[in-house]
């Protein structure tokens, strides 16, 4: 048994979906969440910068003596996970591997689409990981840089959003994928719009649930599950609390307040 908290971080509030799945699956775990809202988004930034930010956040979470860290951001998982794992001894889990395993389970034809931010897609991490497990898979990728702004502006299902979804997904649909990885924590909020364009025969993979399950399995295996009677969740953000709360409401449908913390950029 290990009652230390689990650390979760994201460039902003998207990773709350992962934190939420952990609350539900592991209600006796304490959670410390950090959203880098002063520097969001990460998806259009360089590997070096994203890795620097991720290391600062990891150090911040370590002050809470976290027993495990989840990088609940596809961009940081794609570009910085290896470097984080090399630099810190605490177990660090990303959202890519859980998503890939789920997609491989779901796909019958082995034709898998991946959508994500510019940085995630350029890294080709999803493609590499899928092919390292099953090299017969056919993988087609597409960056969807307007999806995050659409979600953050709460245009989840209007005619413009549908047009954008169609523009991005048409090339993937033309390749006859049967499974689509939503490779960014913002994208599940566009599921309704995406579903209208893909039809119902394509499996949409949202890695938040699988990531929570993966976390449980790792903690169980290491005999590190928590047993806090009154588990807490603490939220921190690098920009002011207001912006975090208003967007958190879009993601989780409930009010969440974050404490502001300024990380050093050097």
Left if phi > 0, otherwise alpha if psi is -120 to 50, otherwise beta: which for 203? beta
Supply the minimum distance, in Å, between the C-beta of residue 110 and a second copy: 31
Q: Which residues contact 151 (CB under 8 A, 6 or more apart)?
A: 186, 187, 189, 190, 250
Kindly tell me which of 49 and 87 has the beta carbon lying closer to a second copy: 49
Residue 173 to residues 99, 100, 198: CA-CA distances in angstroms? Answer: 20, 19, 7
Is residue 229 classed exposed, middle or buried when 0-12, 13-18 and 19+ CB atoms within 10 A define those classes?
A: exposed
Supply the minimum distance, in Å, between the C-beta of residue 176 and a second copy: 25
90 interacts with a second copy by CB under 8 A: no
- Tokens representing residue 202 in the block: 């394509």
Kindly tell me which of 107 and 187 has the beta carbon lying closer to a second copy: 187
Q: How far apart are CA 50 and CA 76, in angstroms?
A: 6
Kindly tell me which of 230 and 266 has the beta carbon lying closer to a second copy: 266
127 interacts with a second copy by CB under 8 A: no
Kindly tell me which of 228 and 245 has the beta carbon lying closer to a second copy: 245
240 interacts with a second copy by CB under 8 A: yes
Are 90 and 155 contacting, i.e. CB atoms less than 8 angstroms apart? no
Number of residues interacting with a second copy: please give it, by CB under 8 A: 33
Are 110 and 138 contacting, i.e. CB atoms less than 8 angstroms apart? yes
Q: How far is CA 1 from the centre of its chain?
A: 27
Q: How far apart are CA 209 and CA 116, in angstroms?
A: 18
Asked about 73 being catalytic, the answer comes back as yes
- Tokens representing residue 97 in the block: 């591997």
Return the range that interacts with a second copy (CB under 8 A); candidates 69-77, 145-153, 177-185, 228-236.
145-153
- Exactly one of 238, 248, 251, 258 binds a second copy (CB under 8 A); that residue is 238
- Exactly one of 106, 218, 239, 250 binds a second copy (CB under 8 A); that residue is 239
10 interacts with a second copy by CB under 8 A: no
- Tokens representing residue 203 in the block: 């499996």
52 interacts with a second copy by CB under 8 A: yes
Asked about 184 being catalytic, the answer comes back as yes
Supply the minimum distance, in Å, between the C-beta of residue 145 and a second copy: 5
Q: How far apart are CA 69 and CA 93, in angstroms?
A: 6
Q: How far is CA 2 from the centre of its chain?
A: 25
152 interacts with a second copy by CB under 8 A: yes
Window 157 to 176, contacts with a second copy (CB under 8 A): 159-160, 163-164, 167
- Exactly one of 2, 3, 23, 49 binds a second copy (CB under 8 A); that residue is 49
Residues with a catalytic annotation lie at 73, 184
Residues at the contact surface with a second copy, assessed by CB under 8 A = 37-40, 44-46, 48-49, 52, 145-146, 148-150, 152-153, 155, 159-160, 163-164, 167, 238-240, 242-243, 262-266
């Amino acid at each position: 048994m290990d009652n230390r908290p689990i650390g979760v971080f994201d460039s902003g509030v998207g990773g709350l979906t992962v934190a939420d799945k952990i609350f539900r699956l592991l209600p006796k775990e304490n959670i410390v969440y950090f959203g880098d809202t002063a520097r969001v988004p990460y998806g259009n930034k360089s590997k070096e910068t994203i890795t620097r930010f991720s290391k600062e956040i990891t150090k911040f979470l370590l002050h809470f003596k976290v027993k495990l860290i989840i990088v609940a951001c596809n961009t940081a998982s794609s570009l910085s996970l290896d470097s984080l794992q090399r630099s810190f001894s605490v177990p660090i889990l990303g959202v890519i591997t859980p998503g890939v395993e789920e997609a491989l389970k779901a796909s019958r034809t082995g034709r898998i689409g991946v959508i994500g931010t510019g940085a995630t897609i350029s890294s080709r991490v999803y493609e590499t990981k899928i092919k390292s497990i099953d090299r017969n898979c056919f993988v087609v990728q597409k960056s969807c840089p307007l999806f995050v702004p659409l979600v953050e502006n709460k245009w989840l299902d209007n005619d413009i959003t549908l047009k954008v979804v169609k523009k991005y997904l048409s090339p993937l649909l033309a390749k006859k994928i049967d499974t689509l990885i939503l490779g960014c924590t913002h994208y599940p909020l566009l599921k309704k719009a995406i579903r209208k364009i893909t039809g119902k025969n394509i499996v949409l993979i949202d890695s938040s649930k699988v990531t929570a399950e993966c976390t449980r399995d790792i903690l169980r295996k290491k005999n590190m599950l928590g047993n806090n009677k009154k588990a807490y969740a603490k939220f921190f953000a690098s920009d002011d609390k207001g912006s975090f709360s208003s967007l958190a409401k879009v993601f989780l449908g409930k009010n969440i307040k974050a404490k502001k913390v300024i990380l050093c950029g050097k």
